[in-house]
Structure 1
């Protein structure tokens, strides 16, 4: 079943297109794969990037929209990504980058395409673990900018994943969230002041 990619805000897409057409922005990005790309580069697969701020005592989550990420494709593969952020003036280009999360995101999206249930793809950042996951939201018609992970949603950790968490293995939110919570919550050492 195909994924239902949410539409990015038009100003976010325009800002990425403007940055791609700017030799200065591309040259200063320090992304060798984008600099050396043969042929035109195009932004594709806009994914809302949500940050997991905290897990509540009841097991709920507090997330916030941090931006939109576009995979930058040349030919048949993504060579970089572009992030946009919301400022007082609206959506604006933030940065180009490359690294292991680009092919890992592509792989996770291909795996999700093969699933029978329709999902809306998003990205979930867990800053306390330096972790990024493909968040497969169960309501494909939802506003990609809002919401939080629900019990039936899937999280697919992207590589490199934190030790002990398998990359590219889909987990129900209810299965993975307790592991993340335990890892992010600081532990009190015996004998340390409370």
Structure 2
């Protein structure tokens, strides 16, 4: 079943296209694969990047939109990604980057395409655990910029995943949130030694 990729805000896309067209922005980017790309590059698969700061006891956890991420394709593969952010003046280009999450995102999206149910793909960052997941939201008509993480949504941890959490294994959000709740809980205060 095809994924229903939400449309990115037009200014976010324009800002990435402008950055890709700027020799200075590309040359100064810390992305050797982008600088070495042969032929044209294009931003594809815009995914809203949401941040999970806390897990609600109700099972639905609020997220906040942090930006939009575009995979930068050169030929048959993504060579980098571009992040955008919302400023008081609107959506603007933030930075280019590369690393293991690029290939991991592509792999997770390919597997999600083969799932029997349609989903809206998003990215969910859990900064406290240095974790990024592909968030497959069950409501394909939802605004990609908003919403809550529903218990029936699917989360696919991207590699590298935190120790003890298998990368690329799909989890129901409710199931993975239980594990994350335990990991995000503050450590108990130890009493003073006697």
> Using the alignment, how far apart are the partners of 1:113 and 1:171 within structure 2?
16
Deviations 1:100-123 (A, max 9, x none): 000000000000000010000000
The match for 1:174 is: 174
Partner of 2:161: 161
Query: Counterparts of 1:26 and 1:55 in 2: how far apart (Å)?
Result: 38
> What's 2:37 paired with?
37
CA distance in 2, matches of 1:59, 1:150: 7
Preserved CA contact (<8 Å) 2:59 2:151:
no
- Tell me, in whole angstroms, the C-alpha distance in 2 between the residues paired with 1:88 and 1:65: 15
Separation in 1 of the partners of 2:62 and 2:119?
A: 21
Q: Calculate the aligned-residue CA RMSD, in Å.
A: 0.9
1:114-149 deviation line (CA, Å, top 9, x unaligned): 001000000000000000000000011110000011
Unaligned 5+ segments in structure 1 are none
Give the structure-1-normalised TM-score.
0.97
Equivalence for 2:186: 186
Structure 2 stretches of 5 or more lacking a match? none
Query: Is the 8 Å Cα contact of residues 60 and 151 (structure 2) preserved in structure 1?
Result: no
TM-score, normalised relative to structure 2:
0.97
